[in-house]
């Protein structure tokens, strides 16, 4: 597999929810390392205080249209994370998958061609069955694996960028996670986080610290060298669809 500009492998990072605190804590690190980002928005919550009861990120301000437009100028992209972050069934798919895309495109004034599963992977079959009809070209999951040129764009895997998983695993932050696997397979790593913060993550199983984010980016650049395509996910999907 050869990626854009004959790169050997690809790397991306997505942020679920779209907390405005990314502007202060994460975006400067993206700029330092020249890596574009991607924001997965809950369609009903753009430019407002997040209101998803039970969420670790509830009460945090979400990026506005104007703020997302500024990020888009730097190569960032966006996807739809459902209308309300609810579990998706045949009963609510019209609202959570179809209508959410229309709502988000209106809220952001940007095209939205990618869907990001909220919560877990259990409702992936329902979303996949409707995604194309709803206007999506791809789906971001939380299946943890490396993507390749043969990966179904409607089942894109993502690698969690976390400080520590809870017991019984105690999986710790690893700046090399899946990178050499991607190099060996000519693959594509999509990391995901929520809102990296200094010193201590908001949720250690869902996030890393800003120091860990910088360490991950430094490792990607050092290990990848001139062979890595530092890419926004929508751009990679467009490349895959054009070459499949």
pLDDT tens digits, one per residue of 137-184: 999 999 999 999 999 999 999 999 999 988 888 889 999 999 999 999
Q: Please give the Cα distance from 43 to 194 (Å, whole number).
A: 16
For the chain, the structural domain boundaries read 4-243
Task: With CA atoms as reference, report the closest residue to 172 among 134, 133, 212.
Answer: 212
Distance CA 94, CA 20 (A): 28
- 162/183 Cα distance (integer angstroms): 21
Contact 14, 190 (CB under 8 A): yes
For domain 4-243, the question of CATH label 3.20.20.370 is answered with: yes
Question: Mean pLDDT of all residues in the chain?
Answer: 96
Retrieve residue 97's tokens. 């998958």
How many C-beta atoms lie closer than 10 Å to residue 50's C-beta? 18
41-78 per-position pLDDT tens digit: 999 999 999 988 878 899 999 999 999 999 999 999 99
Model confidence at 20: pLDDT above 90: yes
Angle in degrees, 0-180, between the axes of helices 65-73 and 100-108, rounded to the nearest 10: 80
- Residues pairing with 133 in the sheet: none
Instruction: Decide if 193 contacts 208 (C-beta within 8 A).
Output: yes
User: In what helix (H) or strand (E) does residue 219 lie, and over which residues does it extend?
Assistant: helix 210-224
E strand residue ranges, the chain: 9-16, 38-41, 77-80, 114-116, 138-140, 159-160, 188-193, 228-230
Three-class DSSP category at 229: strand
**How do residues 182-204 score in pLDDT, each as one tens digit?**
999 999 999 999 999 999 999 99
């Amino acid at each position: 597999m050869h990626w854009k500009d004959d790169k050997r492998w690809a790397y991306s990072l997505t942020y679920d929810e779209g907390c405005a605190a990314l502007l202060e804590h994460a975006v400067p690190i993206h700029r330092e390392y020249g890596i574009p980002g991607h924001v997965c928005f809950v369609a009903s919550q753009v430019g407002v205080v997040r209101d998803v009861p039970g969420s670790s990120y509830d009460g945090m301000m979400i990026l506005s249209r104007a703020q997302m437009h500024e990020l888009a100028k730097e190569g960032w992209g966006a996807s739809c994370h459902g209308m309300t972050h609810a579990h998706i069934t045949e009963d609510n798919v019209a609202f959570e998958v179809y209508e959410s895309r229309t709502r988000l495109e209106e809220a952001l004034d940007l095209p939205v061609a990618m869907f990001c599963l909220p919560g877990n992977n259990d409702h992936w079959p329902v979303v996949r069955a409707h995604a194309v009809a709803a206007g999506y070209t791809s789906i971001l999951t939380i299946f943890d694996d490396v993507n390749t040129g043969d990966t179904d764009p409607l089942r894109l895997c993502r690698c969690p960028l976390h400080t520590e998983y809870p017991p019984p695993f105690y999986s710790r932050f690893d700046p090399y996670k899946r990178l050499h696997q991607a190099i060996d397979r000519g693959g594509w790593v999509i990391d995901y986080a929520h809102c990296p913060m200094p010193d201590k993550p908001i949720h250690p199983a869902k996030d890393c610290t800003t120091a860990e984010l910088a360490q991950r980016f430094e490792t990607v650049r050092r290990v990848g060298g001139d062979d890595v395509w530092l890419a926004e996910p929508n751009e990679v999907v467009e490349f895959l669809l054009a070459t499949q």
